[in-house]
Amino acid sequence: MVRVNDEALRHLDMLVETEVTKSRSESAAFLINEGIKANKALYDRIREITDQIMDLRNQLREVVNPDDIRQEIDRSEE
C-alpha cells in the first residue's frame, strides 16, 4: 500500500478507466516501472554508488571485527 496525492490518484484511475490496467495497484506498479525505465541512467548510477558503499562496508567489517570492539567496550566498563 502506498499513499499518493490527488493528482497521482487521478492518473492511476485514468489507467484503470481506460482498461490499460485492471486496478489502482497494477496502475501504480506500471507507473513505477515506467519511471524507472525513463530514468535508467540515474538508477544505473545509484546502483554503482550503492555497490561501492557495500564494498566499503565489507572492507570495514574485515578490518574492524565487531567482537573485538565489544570486548574493548566491556574492558573499559570494568
pLDDT band per the 50, 70, 90 thresholds, residue 77: confident
State whether 2 and 13 are in the same domain: yes
Parent domain of 65: 40-78
Rounded Cα distance between 24 and 11, Å, is 9
Q: Rounded to an integer, what is the distance from CA 51 to the centroid of its chain?
A: 13
User: What's the whole-model pTM score?
Assistant: 0.65
Whether residue 18 contacts residue 38, with contact meaning beta carbons closer than 8 Å, is answered with no
Sequence letter at residue 25 = S
Least-confidence region, from 34-43, 54-63, 67-76? 67-76
Q: Residue holding cell 506498479?
A: 29
Tally of structural domains, the chain: 2
Same domain, 76 and 57: yes
